Chain A
């Protein structure tokens, strides 16, 4: 079964405490991406990766880091989280062009 798996699904943390949200896919897609979803703002892209060791900034990259050391994994790193990073985060893979995005189930992060 085609899957995009994110962990953790829910997390409450405090300002400044580094955290990582993992994302793993089993579809062998080259393109992976992170989005955040906020009320009234829809989905905004944070970072994306076209292939292993190739990453690029999306629309709202400030405060985030990513890495792509393996094709299947694309972790999102918050080095020093702040309350404005409280959000619902989605990892997605894409076949590109006219293809379909496949989303994980989301990770709800609260930063106190």
Chain B
């Protein structure tokens, strides 16, 4: 079945460092891909998405490109801030199925 794998962390970075969180997926169809973020004490919220191959999703300085050839959707940010400390979830939804499948989440801590 469909699945999502991501680096679990925790990841600790200094402010202004470059961030990459790896995400790879397995799907039988042509999924849409998402990154959700969970700030401390809150529910998840959509960070960015891409719906077809080579699409780039971007928001709040974060970017991820849908790579069909490597089945990947890595999250990147050029300069992280303390306020980016959160748990990040990679996810997919396959149009053949009525559900969203999540990876295990990656905890990010950014220190001043």
Instruction: List residues of A whose CB falls within 8 A of some B CB.
Output: 4, 31, 33, 40-43, 45, 48, 50, 58, 90, 92, 94, 96-98, 100-101, 103-106
| A68–chain B nearest beta-carbon distance, Å | 14
Q: Is the CB of B99 within 8 A of A42?
A: no
The 8 Å CB contact of B44, one of A90, A94, A98, is: A90
Residues of B close to A94: CB separation below 8 A: 100
How many chain B residues touch A (CB < 8 A): the figure is: 22
Quick one: CB contact mask for B78-112 with A, threshold 8 Å, 1 for yes? Answer: 00000000000100010100111011110000000
* CB closest chain-A residue, reference B31: A98
A-B contact pairs, 9 of them (CB 8 A): A40-B8, A40-B104, A42-B102, A45-B99, A50-B98, A90-B43, A94-B100, A105-B41, A105-B43
Which residues does chain A contribute within 8 Å of B104, judged by CB atoms? 40-42
- Nearest neighbor of B42 in chain A, beta-carbon distance: A105
C-alpha spacing A43/B8, complex, angstroms = 13
Q: Contacts A48-B98, A101-B46 hold; do A42 and B105 have CB atoms under 8 A apart?
A: yes
Q: Is the CB of B58 closer than 8 A to any CB of chain A?
A: no
